[in-house]
């Protein structure tokens, strides 16, 4: 856990006037997120096993949390969970090479989005779907795109799944959920394709750290931070350079 994350939680917790009861060490751990915040290695293991987790970016960036899972682990139940509880846009981060393989082109843009999110044309599986929007249909599309043998002939556009092209340099090039989710899939030894969905509150506002921690506890999920992934990646890179 990073000091930045703890400080951010403390500030937002005070702003929401959350009173922490005087309690034992277990309660104290819970109040500061020790029970839900996970290390990079823990998140990698969750990804390796095909589990879902939450990724949080810097409070000075989007300051949002996304549900994340390996694309090849997606089921209709996963899509339904994301749509029902995450409530955000369900997207498909993938490496540039996979985007080329699938014949995906960037959406036309006017101006530039604040964080430079690389949306491609939306997609649908060519076979095995009806209207494309049901949880089963979207899971079918995700599974098709996650298949390493999939080509542009297996997909149609537009559709109900929204691919995002990750930067080749990963989180060191762009510290976004797109790059972080793909980097975690690589570390886990899975196909470099993920599925993400922003987490929103019941009232439609974006969930911030206190709400994300409550969400994680409620659904028994772990939270990883992009900040820690960046630090871990930098340390590994430095170690490799020292051994050259």
Could you read off the pLDDT of 10-27 as tens digits, one per residue? 444 444 333 333 334 444
**Does residue 151 form part of some domain?**
yes
**Does residue 184 form part of some domain?**
yes
pLDDT per residue as tens digits for the range 147-168? 999 999 999 999 999 999 999 9
pLDDT per residue as tens digits for the range 62-99? 789 999 999 999 999 999 999 999 999 999 999 999 99
Residue for token pair 């929204």 = 162
The answer to whether residue 205 scores a pLDDT higher than 70 is yes
Which of 9, 2, 45 has the alpha carbon at shortest distance from 213?
A: 9
In the chain, the number of structural domains is 1
Say what the pLDDT of residue 116 is: 76
**Does residue 242 form part of some domain?**
no
**Does residue 77 form part of some domain?**
yes
Average the pLDDT over 127-152 and give the result: 98
What is the DSSP annotation of 55-118?
EE--TTTT--EEEEEEGGG--HHHHHHIIIIIEEEEEEEE-HHHHHHTT--BPP-SS--TT---
Binding residues for Mg(2+): 62, 177
**Does residue 51 form part of some domain?**
yes
Say what the pLDDT of residue 244 is: 61
Q: CA distances (Å), 92 to each of 2, 79, 111, in order?
A: 28, 12, 23
Q: Where are the alpha helices (DSSP H) in the chain?
A: 3-15, 25-31, 40-48, 76-81, 96-101, 135-146, 177-187, 209-219, 226-242
Q: How far apart are CA 151 and CA 90, in angstroms?
A: 21
Q: CA distances (Å), 220 to each of 102, 138, 239, in order?
A: 35, 24, 34
| Residue 125 phi, psi (nearest 5) | -65, 140
Q: How far apart are CA 74 and CA 139, in angstroms?
A: 6
**Does residue 24 form part of some domain?**
no
Q: Which residues contact 222 (CB under 8 A, 6 or more apart)?
A: 36, 37, 38, 42, 43, 46, 53, 54, 216
Average the pLDDT over 122-135 and give the result: 98
The answer to whether residue 35 scores a pLDDT higher than 60 is yes
The whole-model pTM stands at 0.85
Say what the pLDDT of residue 239 is: 79
Structural domain that includes position 153: 37-237
The answer to whether residue 136 scores a pLDDT higher than 80 is yes
The answer to whether residue 185 scores a pLDDT higher than 60 is yes
Q: How far apart are CA 118 and CA 106, in angstroms?
A: 7
CA angle 151, 121, 155 (to 5 degrees): 30
| Residue 188 phi, psi (nearest 5) | -85, -5
Binding residues for D-ribulose 5-phosphate: 61-62, 66, 174-178
**Does residue 202 form part of some domain?**
yes
**Does residue 29 form part of some domain?**
no
CATH number of residue 188's parent domain: 3.90.870.10
Binding residues: 61-62, 66, 174-178
């Amino acid at each position: 856990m990073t000091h930045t994350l703890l400080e951010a939680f403390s500030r937002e917790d005070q702003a929401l006037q959350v009173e922490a009861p005087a309690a034992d060490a277990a309660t104290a751990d819970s109040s500061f997120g020790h029970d839900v915040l996970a290390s990079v290695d823990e998140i990698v293991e969750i990804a390796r096993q095909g589990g879902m987790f939450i990724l949080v970016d810097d409070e000075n960036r989007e300051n949002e949390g996304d549900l994340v899972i390996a694309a090849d682990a997606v089921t209709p139940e996963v899509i339904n969970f994301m749509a029902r509880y995450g409530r955000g846009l369900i997207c498909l981060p993938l490496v540039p090479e996979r985007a080329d393989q699938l014949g995906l082109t960037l959406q036309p843009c006017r101006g530039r989005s604040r964080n430079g999110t690389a949306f491609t044309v939306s997609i649908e599986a060519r076979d095995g779907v009806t209207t494309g929007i049901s949880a089963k249909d979207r899971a079918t599309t995700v599974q098709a795109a996650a298949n390493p043998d999939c080509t542009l002939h297996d997909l149609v556009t537009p559709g109900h799944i929204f691919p995002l092209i990750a930067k080749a340099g990963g989180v060191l090039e762009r510290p976004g959920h797109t790059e972080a989710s793909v980097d975690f899939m690589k570390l886990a030894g899975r196909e470099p394709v993920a599925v993400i969905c922003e987490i929103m509150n019941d009232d439609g506002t974006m969930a911030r750290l206190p709400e994300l921690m409550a969400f994680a506890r409620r659904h028994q999920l772990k939270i990883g931070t992009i900040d820690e992934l960046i630090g871990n990646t930098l340390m590994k890179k430095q170690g490799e350079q020292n051994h050259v």
